[in-house]
Amino acid sequence: MVTTISVTPQTLDILRQVKEEKQAKNFDDVIRMLVQNMKKPVKSYRGFAKHTPAFVREELDRFA
């Protein structure tokens, strides 16, 4: 099934650039690739500083 979509000339230029950069066969491949990349989870920085000692509050910091 073929469907036509409407895009601005600027968007078409961007799609053409990505198609050339990624050596995609057609715009469908470009759009699929962009959507798949968008769905990937963002890199988590949890555990980035594993060797950092745990925070311990000093007695002097506490209010009486």
Instruction: Render pLDDT for 25-64 as a digit per residue (tens, 0 to 9).
Output: 999 999 999 999 888 777 766 666 777 777 777 777 666 5
With cut-offs at 50, 70 and 90, classify the pLDDT of residue 5.
very high
Compute the average pLDDT of residues 1-26.
95
The pLDDT of residue 61 is: 61
pLDDT at 10 over 60: yes
Query: Three-state secondary structure along the chain?
Result: CCCCCCCCHHHHHHHHHHHHHHCCCCHHHHHHHHHHHHHCCCCCCCCCCCCCCCCCCCHHHCCC
Which residue ranges make up each domain of the chain? 9-61
